[in-house]
Amino acid sequence: MLKVVPLVLFVGAAAFVSTSSLRDTRAEAAFKVPVVTVHASEYAFSAPKSIVGGQTTFRLVNDGKELHHITILKLEQGKTMKDLQAAMKDPNAPLPAWLVPVGGPNAAVPGSTIEATLDLAPGNYVLACFIPSPGGDTPHAAKGMMAPLTVTAPGGVTQAGASFAPTPTPDVHLVLKDYAFAFSKPITAGKHTIHVMNEGPQEHEVIMLKLAPGKHVADFNKWATTGMQGPPPAMPIAGLSGMAKGRTAIFSDDFTPGTYAITCFVSAPDKKMHSDHGMSTEFVVK
């Protein structure tokens, strides 16, 4: 005899499965962050035009032949990328008060991929590369390497086409301030996830380098600021682009034994780079 199961049981079971799946999905999402992939070449970014706000990992893929990074700039007071382009026409002008640097992956050598994780509030942003080409001092942004980005408020809906990665768990903390870097503990061999906090008062960046044998961070600073001619004394491996005071971000790298350095090329009010004020340091990984 055919047993008839009340429809309400099917409905209830479906609701249970649906609700349970939703809870599982939300629980899983709570431990993951969206990954936004940006491709860089000479002199352009290929990037989404809009993303959902919150903690986000930016993955920079350098398809070009030169160094590139992403500096993410928040536009306030209703400003647009055209306003930024107009402000950049005067290279000696101070940073506009309506422009807030919030970080980004820094810097990718040709053919490499690097990442940085940061928290973005809703608003209008610009992705920019301020690294100059070898033999010159014109930043890539002045050659058109900028892209607008709209960050929308989270609405509980997964972003279409988004990929996800586990939420990074820092094991090392790095504090930036005028004019020094301070690690919470020595860097050892292996993979480390580094949480960076800018205590300011100025904007700062992190350029993480692996030095060539017999070379020092001063050699890289000179090479990078005098046209980048000849073999580099160090290889950029990871880091964070300019961040305003109070900003935080996270990056990771796998450290093999050798001599490393970190430096900062942000300009101070006296027009000298922070590295000229001593904001460079070396450390050995064993």
Domain boundaries, the chain: 33-167, 168-286
Question: Counting runs of H as helices and runs of E as strands, what totals does the chain give?
Answer: 3, 18
How far is the C-alpha of 127 from the C-alpha of 58, rounded, in Å?
Answer: 11
Decide whether 33-167 matches 168-286 in CATH topology: yes
Q: Report the range of poorest mean pLDDT among 17-31, 232-246, 253-267.
A: 17-31
| 190 pLDDT higher than 80 | yes
Give the three-class secondary structure for 257: coil
pLDDT score of 2: 34
Give the angle 250-254-259 at the CA atoms, nearest 5°.
Answer: 105
The CATH class for the domain spanning 33-167 reads mainly beta
Mean of pLDDT values over 96-121: 96
How far is the C-alpha of 223 from the C-alpha of 219, rounded, in Å?
Answer: 6
Q: Does residue 109 contact residue 23 with C-beta atoms inside 8 Å?
A: no
pLDDT score of 38: 97
pLDDT score of 88: 87
- What HEC string does 105-126 produce? ECCECCCCEEEEEEEECCEEEE
Find the helix or strand (DSSP H, E) in which 286 lies: none
| 10 pLDDT higher than 90 | no
Q: Report CA-CA distances (Å) from 162 to 10, 33, 158, 212, 256.
A: 33, 10, 8, 38, 32
Please count the other Cβ atoms lying within 10 Å of the Cβ belonging to residue 186: 10
Which of the four pLDDT bands, split at 50, 70 and 90, describes residue 25?
very low
How far is the C-alpha of 51 from the C-alpha of 49, rounded, in Å?
Answer: 7
pLDDT score of 185: 97
Q: Report CA-CA distances (Å) from 66 to 121, 132, 135.
A: 31, 9, 12
Q: Identify the residue with better confidence: 11 or 78.
A: 78
Give the three-class secondary structure for 132: strand
Q: Report the range of poorest mean pLDDT among 80-89, 126-135, 138-147.
A: 80-89
Mean of pLDDT values over 97-114: 96
Domain 168-286 coded CATH 1.10.10.10: no
- The structure's pTM equals 0.87
Burial of 246 by CB count in 10 Å (0-12 exposed, 13-18 middle, 19+ buried)?
exposed
Q: Name the nearest CA neighbour of 243 among 117, 130, 129, 104.
A: 104
pLDDT score of 158: 56
pLDDT score of 30: 55
Which of the four pLDDT bands, split at 50, 70 and 90, describes residue 20?
very low
Q: Identify the residue with better confidence: 23 or 167.
A: 167
pLDDT score of 262: 98
